[in-house]
Structure 1
Amino acid sequence: MVREDGKRNFVLREENGTESSVFSGSMPRQAALKAARRLDPVDSEDKAREQATEIRLREKGTDKVHIFDAWAWVDDAPDDKPDWMEGDITKGNVSKQGIEHLEE
């Protein structure tokens, strides 16, 4: 279901079928990137990519489940960071694996 501002809501789906956090984005990848940043980060992108985790996002109002491999790593904050920002930040990336349709 598309919201008035053009964004869609996606629910993080666990392996057992339970659904928890909601992420919004205009595209499924945008929501998946937000979900990826919540993973436990490792110290480099190369290591993180090797330890990719599968995440499943169900688009609210539909039976579509978007499947991604996701990984997160810790990186230095940019030089022009605001004063309140800490020295390290968590970055994430995803790779789409496909779409499944629920049969519930």
Structure 2
Amino acid sequence: MVREDGKRNFVMREEDGTESSVFSGSMPRQAALKAARRLEPAGSEEEAKSNATEIRLREKGTDKVHIFDAWAWSDEAPDDKPGWMEGDITKGNVSKQGIKHLEE
């Protein structure tokens, strides 16, 4: 279901079918990137990509489950960072694996 601002809500779905956190985005990948940043970060992008985690996001109001491989890593904050930002930041990336439809 699309909100007035054009964004859609996606809920994180576990293997056992339980659903937890909600992420919003205009596209499924945008929500998946937000979810990926919550993963435990690795030391480098290469190390993180080799240990990718599967995440499943169900679009609220539909039976579509978007499946992604996700990974996160720590990186230094840019030189022009705002004063409140810490020295290290977490970056994330995802690779879409497909869509499944629930049969519930």
Measured against the shorter chain, the TM-score band is over 0.9
Question: Offset of 1:38 from its aligned partner?
Answer: 0.3
Paired with 1:85 and 1:56, the residues of 2 have a C-alpha distance of 30
Query: Gaps (5+ residues) in structure 2?
Result: none
Q: Which residue of 2 aligns with 1:21?
A: 21
Question: Offset of 1:11 from its aligned partner?
Answer: 0.2
- The secondary structure found in structure 2 opposite 1:66 is strand
Paired with 1:61 and 1:42, the residues of 2 have a C-alpha distance of 34
Is 2:53 the partner of 1:78? no
TM-score, length of structure 2 as denominator length = 1.00
- The secondary structure found in structure 2 opposite 1:93 is strand
Q: Which residue of 1 aligns with 2:50?
A: 50
1:55-74 Cα deviation digits (max 9, x unpaired): 00000000000000000000
Query: Gaps (5+ residues) in structure 1?
Result: none
RMSD between superposed Cα atoms in Å: 0.2
TM-score, length of structure 1 as denominator length = 1.00
Paired with 1:63 and 1:84, the residues of 2 have a C-alpha distance of 40
Paired with 1:72 and 1:36, the residues of 2 have a C-alpha distance of 6
After the TM superposition, which segments of 4 or more aligned residues of structure 1 sit over 4 Å from their partners?
none
